[in-house]
Amino acid sequence: MKRFPTLTISNHPLIQHKLAYIRDKTTPKKVFKELMDEVSTLLAYEITKNLPVRAVQVETPLQTTTCHVIDVDKVVLVPLLRAGLGLVEGVLKLIPSCAVCHVGLYRDHETLEPQTYYFKPMSSPEERMFIMVDPMLATGGSAIASADLLKKNGAKNIKFMCLVAAPEGVEAFQHAHPDVEIYAAALDDGLNESAYILPGLGDAGDRLFGTQ
């Protein structure tokens, strides 16, 4: 029995190669952002492998043939603000017309509960596939709250893409959302006392936006 049945780690050499440079603390901001874009494109390829397709008739220069297309308006990309923004462009390279539905959460200082400060619900959520994106699955708190929010608004089909996952976060997320598959580039060792992932890559948002 797999320890984390809902987790898929992509061991593709290109993803692992790029992740090595993303982790490297000497990688400059510009390159960090470009590599994150590239890895998110590669992970998007994996995460969309079971998207339903529909048959259409296409006329080639020679004859009519049956082809298969996806319904791009059924795919919704959900970046968790702010670091999730770093994974948006890479997915849009593959599915340029999918909707982008941002989720903004903060932690209430007193209750420590996640509070929503930005969310615009989609129409017909039950017909769509939502791909949540956040580079780091650390404690799982914001990912769990975001999936809760999507489900409360009617989402039935959710996937979660991250670069680096901590076992603590995967455990918590799969307990809260056993129906949501997680796709990651790496499963790391664990969290430190400040909830940073080890070995990790540091603060993804700060490295993306140069706010260290």
196 binds ligand URA (CB under 6 A): yes
Please name which of 49, 50, 33 lies closest in space to residue 88, comparing C-alpha atoms: 33
By rule CB under 6 A, what string of x and - marks binding of each residue 44-83 to ligand URA? ---------------------------------------x
Tokens 């930005």 correspond to 118
Span near ligand URA by CB under 6 A; candidates 26-34, 74-82, 88-96, 200-208: 200-208
User: Which x/- pattern, by CB under 6 A, does the window 141-180 give for ligand URA?
Assistant: ----------------------------------------
Consult the annotation and say whether 82 binds a ligand.
yes
At 23 the three-state DSSP class reads: helix
DSSP string, 159-172: EEE-SEE-HHHHHH
Residues 180, 157: Cα–Cα separation, whole Å? 8
134 among annotated binding-site residues: yes
Segment interacting with ligand URA (CB under 6 A) among 27-35, 70-78, 179-187, 192-200: 192-200
Q: What residues from 103 to 142 belong to the interface with ligand URA (CB under 6 A)? A: 136, 138
Cα–Cα dist 59/63, whole Å? 6
Parallel, antiparallel, or unpaired for β 7-9 and 181-184? parallel
Between residues 113 and 206, which has the closer beta carbon with respect to ligand URA?
206
Tokens standing for residue 41: 């494109």
Ligand-binding annotation for 141, yes or no, is yes
178 is in an annotated binding site: no
- Cβ atoms of 203 and 31 within 8 Å: the answer is no
CA distance 49 to 72: 14
Binding footprint of ligand URA on the chain (CB under 6 A): 83, 136, 138, 196-197, 200, 203-205
